[in-house]
Chain A
Amino acid sequence: MAIRVNPKLIDELRKYGAEDVSMCYHCGNCSAVCPHSQEPYVFPRRSLRALQMGLESRMRTSIEPWLCYYCGQCSDQCPRDAEPGETMMSLRRWLISQYDVTGLGRYFYRSWKAELAAVLLVFVCTVAGLVLYGSSVGSIHVYDGPGAFLPSEAIHLFDFLLAGALVVFLGLNAGRMWWLTMIKDRKERAPLSLYVRRIHLLPLHFFSQMRYAKCGDTGPWLVHFCVVFGYVTMLVLIMGFLEAMQAGPEIRWSVHAFGYAASAALLVATLMMVRARLVKSGPQGHHTHTTDWMFLLLLVVLVVTGIVQHAVHRLGYETAANVAYVVHLSIVVTWFSRYPFTKWSHIIYRPLAMYFAEVRREVSGTHARQSAAPVAGPQLQGHAA
């Protein structure tokens, strides 16, 4: 069955940042220079081709964009300035919007106004909600204990509710990603046993991002690792030890050792990322989508409000601590409300992609050996397709 060419799709992808893809004339230098391009996942040229031709179904089921960490060597080598690296980045943005079952991501990626409006709306609503709630249960002048404005048990419960909602959305999106990359349009299905045998890849890639380190220069990987380390540490602290952290100010400083290390790593690494995009250094710094700015700026605000809130709390200014807490929590909610729909969701798509890619490779390999016929992914089929 012939696939329909959709010449309009390239215009759609422009909104996701793929501006120069029509310049590509398929010399293949990009695929040759890419440190991650390896059978059966050869990219970026093939991904660029699918995009140029608007082969939507092929793009939607492809796993290749997730195997790219944007070292930028392909874009450096490109004789036509088709920016293959940025094209892969754009494809990741587009895939996030495609995995998203709510469809909200599509609005955020295509219109910065829609995104900004959503961010402001969530922020204002959360502030209003928290103030109303706080006023009904306690006093703004009491930070902890009886009569507290925002009692830690309630906030802890709220956190869990928020996390639960996120897990549901992320789970649905991850399920859709699995269906698109592993089931749809695929001839051979991976047995459950294979999924089980390779499950260790999921935490491995989640925590180490080791493929990023193989991009050549390990600097960007280190910065990225710091962000993930700080972020995950803070997540564990908040979800597990919120009551202990909110107590005080008389408790010992050393309780916060992990939190300080994580915050420092998060703040420094995030500011380095912001700087790279401001001065346009490094391959990713040259192309910043509005969603990238929103992501980084919210993260900076999140960290800074957290630190301010902690500082005034430790200094014993209870009223100020409550105000800062409302602001910080509202940022947290704003931040997490975007989580499943835009960039941050790559935290689960990346390790999932590594995991799925390996399972898919193994099942294709077995299949090929058994049938002695060339079998590859839909992106990789030869002429006989």
Chain B
Amino acid sequence: MAEPRIGVYICNCGTNIAKVVNCDKICDSVSKLPGVAVARTYKYMCSNPGQDMIVQDVKQLDLDRVVVVACSPRMHERTFRKALRSAGLNEYLLEMANIREQCSWVHDDEFAATNKAEALTRAAVRRVAYHEPLERLSADMCPNTLVLGGGIAGLTAALEMADAGHKVFLVERDDHLGGNLARVDLTAPYLDSARDLLTERITRARESKNVQVMLGSALKNLSGFVGNFVATIGPAGSEGRTEQETSVDVGAVVVCTGYKEFDASRITYFGYGKLPNVITSFEFERMLRAGRIETKEGKTPQYVAIVHCVGSRSQEFHGYCSRVCCMTALKYAHEIKSALPDSYVSDLYIDMHAFGKGHEDFYKQSSEAKTLFLMYGKNEHPVIKRAAPEDGCEMLIEVVEKLSGEAIEIPADMVILMVGMEARADADRVARLVNISQDKEGWFIESHPKLDPVATTTEGIFIAGTCAFPKDIPDTVAQARAAAARILGKIAREKIEIDAVFAEVNEDLCSGCRMCNELCPYSAVEFDSEKRRSRVNSALCKACGGCVAACPSSAIKARHFTDQQIAAQIEGVLL
């Protein structure tokens, strides 16, 4: 191997680095290293003059490798790669040594910090000598989209894609569209009909030539990678029957599988299942949709009590807030008061979460409608009992009321339990099929909770709505549209760019043990049963290196993280 010509550029980062690390000393010592053609320091290497300095040196001094000694590559690797490209060098011939986050920001002792920075610089110089020029790959982006779930999220995402002129496969387990929203009467806080919200969307989806609605069906298998997935769809619930399955090509998947409601019979002290007039919020929605609020005995209830946080915000069940129940409870108070003006509504809550647009006003209106709000402690709970005949009501709810400090009993003829949301029982199956992760409660995990809320760690798989976490209709719709926008962006570019850094199997060395197949967290390693060799799908590989380390035949090489490169880096530190 010919002697490389390496340029080393040490950044002061204003005083961020220079006040602790002696940059000039590093510059002196590094310039004496073999292969280093030039070493310079500069105030801000990432600035335009700093980048120009590198570009000029590459051209004039005929450099073939560059080491930037500055901040974390997460901060500026892109910047310096771009500089190399503009100088006519392959961008992978760059290495960065992080002497800001790893030295100047975490050490006080100038001598020790400088020594450490020097070691990291030596390591980078040694490593960069073994860098190879790499090329990014690209693949076609299939403009079709698979949407899982026909609730408000799925419908919205599907229509968004269809309106943009792209084909959508809308897969729904049930025999009808609408999801959980189809079980709701009015919506809070503006008391719009849920039916009105849905009907327009369902009709449009059914009539759109771009949307293929697949009712009673489910995703059976998904292979391929972003832009090039093959989805197998079959009848929901019939496992293993392949003759009714169809395969479709899609470029991206939006998972909108929604939630299921908490099973109230898991809580004994509410008497759900034993006391006939203790019902869940969804059972009450059914009454509202039928237009008749009455007890199981067919009587009009005089006292109606609403209990919040059933299954939510508790130590025993789910610790999280289900977000929609507070406003739904207020909606019930309104609907009960307007249907039965002589009734009395008690609302038992832990905290009133009225965070959304119009929610606070809605809360105030509920007070005006004389809803009796009763507060109980987070770690306490109301107990519902059958009342005696002389009590003049069906049930009595015992609770310690926080705002008065009194142990009270509340008369009730009907109790509505505001059951929270939880992840669907089949969420883990869906997660496995599309290769995304779940948190400890079973919700799908987003790529970044703040900055990338609808993407997942698998490229091309998006999540929207309540399959990721409880949320209300506006947030769900916003996410569905966001996911559609992300996919439309990819479709508009037509090509999928694949990072040049991935693992490769040397077929001559592979013994076909398939250890790596199971190990890969991204399902990127496939087995070629004809050749009896494993093969890495470069588009799926995230270059984590798991298979490289595990391979007993050392048959897998990670591009840009070769054994030679890493060994040289370690040597550099230890010298």
Contact = CB atoms under 8 A, between A and B. Distances in A.
Interface of A: 1-5, 7-8, 10, 22-26, 46, 49-50, 52-53, 55, 58, 80, 381-383, 385
Interface in B398-447: 398, 400-411
Contacts of A53: 372, 374, 401, 404, 406, 408
Given A2-B398, A7-B346, A52-B372, A26 B408 contact: no
A55 B403 contact: no
A4 B398 CA distance: 9
Contacts of B405: 381-383, 385
Between B401, B404, B405, B408, the greatest number of chain A beta carbons within 10 A of the residue's beta carbon is seen for B404
A4 B408 contact: yes
Contacts of B367: 22-25, 80
A279 to B, nearest CB: 28
Contacts of A80: 364, 367
A227 B398 CA distance: 49
A1 B409 CA distance: 9
Contacts of B368: 22-23
A5 B409 contact: yes
Nearest to B344: A7
A49 B401 CA distance: 10
Interface in B346-398: 346, 364, 367-368, 370-374, 398
B329 to A, nearest CB: 15
A379 to B, nearest CB: 9
Between A3, A10, A46, the greatest number of chain B beta carbons within 10 A of the residue's beta carbon is seen for A3
A5 B372 contact: yes
Contacts of A1: 407
- Name the 6 nearest CB pairs between A and B, nearest first: A7-B344, A2-B409, A49-B404, A22-B370, A5-B410, A2-B407
Contacts of B320: none
A7 B304 CA distance: 11
B44 interface: no
B303 interface: yes
A382 B401 CA distance: 10
A46 B346 contact: no
Contacts of A23: 364, 367-368
Nearest to B369: A22
Given A7-B346, A22-B367, A55 B404 contact: yes
Contacts of B372: 5, 7, 10, 22, 52-53
B406 A3 contact: yes
B303 A7 contact: yes
7 contacts: A4-B408, A5-B346, A7-B346, A10-B372, A23-B367, A24-B367, A52-B373
Contacts of B346: 5, 7
Between A5, A24, A46, A55, the greatest number of chain B beta carbons within 10 A of the residue's beta carbon is seen for A5
B406 A385 contact: yes
Contact of A25 (B373, B401, B406): B373
Given A5-B410, A23-B367, A55-B406, 17 more contacts: A3-B407, A3-B409, A5-B346, A5-B409, A7-B303, A8-B344, A22-B370, A22-B372, A25-B367, A46-B404, A49-B403, A49-B404, A53-B372, A53-B404, A381-B406, A382-B405, A385-B407
Contact of B411 (A3, A7, A55): A7
Contacts of B407: 1-3, 385
Between B364, B405, B409, B410, the greatest number of chain A beta carbons within 10 A of the residue's beta carbon is seen for B405
Contacts of B411: 4-5, 7
Nearest to B400: A383
Between B398, B401, B409, the greatest number of chain A beta carbons within 10 A of the residue's beta carbon is seen for B401
A299 B398 CA distance: 49
Nearest to B363: A25
Nearest to B410: A5
A84 to B, nearest CB: 14
Contact of B409 (A4, A8, A46): A4
Nearest to B380: A383
Contact of B408 (A2, A24, A381): A2
Nearest to B404: A49
A26 B398 CA distance: 21
A26 B403 contact: yes
B518 to A, nearest CB: 55
Nearest to B403: A26
Contacts of B402: 383
Contacts of B404: 46, 49-50, 53, 55
A22 B409 CA distance: 19
A53 to B, nearest CB: 6
A53 B411 CA distance: 11
A4 B411 CA distance: 8
A186 to B, nearest CB: 16
A5 B411 CA distance: 7
Contacts of A25: 367, 373
A55 B370 contact: no
A19 to B, nearest CB: 11
A221 B445 CA distance: 67
A2 B346 CA distance: 17
A19 B390 CA distance: 30
Nearest to A8: B344
Contacts of A385: 400, 405-407
Contacts of B398: 2
Nearest to A49: B404
A324 to B, nearest CB: 50
A244 B393 CA distance: 66
Contacts of B410: 5
A40 to B, nearest CB: 13
A373 to B, nearest CB: 15
Contacts of B403: 26, 49
A22 B398 CA distance: 22
Nearest to A26: B403
A10 B370 contact: yes
Interface in B493-547: none
A82 to B, nearest CB: 9
A22 to B, nearest CB: 5
A7 B364 CA distance: 19
Nearest to B397: A5
Nearest to B366: A22
B370 A3 contact: no
A385 B399 CA distance: 11
Contacts of B371: 22
A5 B373 contact: no
Contacts of B401: 53
A46 B370 CA distance: 18
Contacts of A381: 405-406
Interface in B206-230: none
Contacts of A4: 408-409, 411
Between A80, A381, A385, the greatest number of chain B beta carbons within 10 A of the residue's beta carbon is seen for A385
A8 B302 CA distance: 11
A55 B398 CA distance: 14
Contacts of A7: 303, 344, 346, 372, 411
A53 B406 CA distance: 10
B408 A3 contact: yes
Between A2, A23, A52, the greatest number of chain B beta carbons within 10 A of the residue's beta carbon is seen for A2
A382 B368 CA distance: 28
A2 B407 CA distance: 5
Contacts of A382: 405
A55 B400 contact: no
Between A7, A26, A49, A52, the greatest number of chain B beta carbons within 10 A of the residue's beta carbon is seen for A7
A31 to B, nearest CB: 12
